């Protein structure tokens, strides 16, 4: 059976993330096989996964809850992959009828050999996966599902800012979002040192960047902020200890910590953060990193403390 644990490494000991092979795109005008329609598609996520969390936040911010249904997997993943179980009010899966997310992958492609990843989107009309390529999912929600967004929904990917957003996203992905995984799953000291040094150099730069700006790009909430937030909200809870990203904590960065609280205190962010799922997933799913399976009680952090970022508006 294909391993479902994200610990692939190169010959040099560096963590390598697998390619995402389902890459269908949605379209407003029907120019792709998957036109943007309400009620047709189902989003499968883990509340523990930072890549999936992006899609959940964007779905909430844009008011797409009625247009795109949601299924949440159990946070504890084993060799069978993500399970859809009763509990936490999220299961069973009444739309796809899946007990394991692998069923959606193998129904779409019986020869599929990769990991069964979240987020992914199932087309209930054709009975196949549209995409598991997480960067495309939020962009398509923002640009192709506009007819189904709530009145007054924010423009998270404004056309004039896209070059700047894309450039920043590329750096944040490589050095922060994926950087914590490159540190956590490094197979030797040199690759770990390299990943951690790069990660904290970027966090230091972002700390300075946010000293005079409330948001990353253009003075408004954008896709870039959402992508950074999902790593920051997990940083002290799991990445500092579990992935050994411990040169500094998020709370040691005044601007980044205030910025993260500023976002968290908005309903679409707060209501989609589940620290129980986050900690149980990481500490119970990676036995090579945490063989005891003990889930830490801490850290005790006050995400509701005043952030005082309004002055930068």
> What are φ and ψ of residue 274, in 5° steps?
-130, 95
Cα-trace Rg, the chain: 19
Which residue in this structure is represented by tokens 């899966």? Answer: 93
Give CA–CA dist 303/81, Å, rounded.
31
Q: Which tokens is 144 given?
A: 């192709």
**Cβ atoms of 288 and 7 closer than 8 Å:** yes
Exposure of 166 in the CB half-sphere (CA atoms within 13 A): 8
Contacts of 288 (CB under 8 A, 6+ apart): 5, 7
Of the candidates 54, 41, 51, which has an alpha carbon nearest to the alpha carbon of residue 117?
Answer: 51
- Across 100-202, where does the E strand assignment appear? 120-123, 128-131
Tally Cβ neighbours within 10 Å of residue 126: 13
Among 49, 157, 259, 283, which one carries the catalytic annotation? 49
CA distances, 299 to each of 237, 266, 295 (Å): 6, 21, 11
Q: Which tokens is 64 given?
A: 């797409």
Among 41, 134, 181, 215, which one carries the catalytic annotation? 181
Give CA–CA dist 236/67, Å, rounded.
34
CA 196 to chain centre: 20
**Cβ atoms of 115 and 16 closer than 8 Å:** no
The yes-or-no answer on residue 49 being catalytic is: yes
Contacts of 124 (CB under 8 A, 6+ apart): 40, 41, 42, 95, 96
Residues tagged active-site: 49, 181
């Amino acid at each position: 059976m294909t391993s479902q644990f994200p610990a692939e490494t190169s010959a040099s000991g560096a963590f390598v993330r697998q390619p995402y092979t389902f890459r269908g795109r949605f379209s407003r005008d029907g120019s792709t096989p998957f036109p943007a329609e309400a009620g047709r598609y189902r989003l499968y996520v883990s509340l523990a996964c930072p890549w999936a969390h992006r899609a959940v936040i964007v779905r909430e911010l844009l008011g797409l809850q009625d247009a795109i249904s949601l299924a949440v997997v159990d946070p504890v993943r084993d060799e069978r992959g993500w399970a859809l179980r009763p509990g936490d009010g999220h299961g069973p899966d009444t739309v796809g009828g899946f007990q394991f997310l692998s069923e959606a992958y193998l129904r779409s492609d019986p020869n599929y050999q990769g990991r069964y990843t979240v987020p992914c989107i199932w087309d209930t009309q054709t009975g196949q996966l549209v995409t598991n390529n997480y960067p495309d999912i939020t962009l398509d929600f923002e640009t192709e599902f506009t007819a189904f967004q709530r009145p007054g929904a924010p423009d998270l990917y404004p056309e004039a800012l896209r070059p700047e957003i894309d450039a920043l996203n590329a750096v944040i992905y490589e050095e922060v979002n994926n950087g914590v995984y490159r540190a956590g799953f490094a197979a030797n000291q040199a690759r770990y040192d390299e990943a951690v040094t790069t990660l904290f150099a970027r966090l230091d730069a972002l700390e300075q960047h946010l000293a005079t700006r409330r948001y990353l790009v253009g003075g408004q909430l954008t896709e870039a902020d959402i992508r950074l937030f999902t790593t920051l909200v997990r940083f002290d809870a799991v990445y500092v200890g579990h992935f050994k990203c411990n040169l500094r904590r998020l709370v040691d960065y005044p601007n980044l910590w205030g910025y993260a609280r500023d976002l968290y205190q908005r309903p679409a962010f707060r209501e989609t953060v589940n620290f129980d799922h986050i900690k149980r997933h990481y500490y119970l799913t990676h036995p090579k990193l945490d063989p005891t399976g003990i889930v830490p009680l801490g850290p005790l952090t006050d995400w509701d403390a005043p952030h005082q970022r309004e002055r930068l508006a």
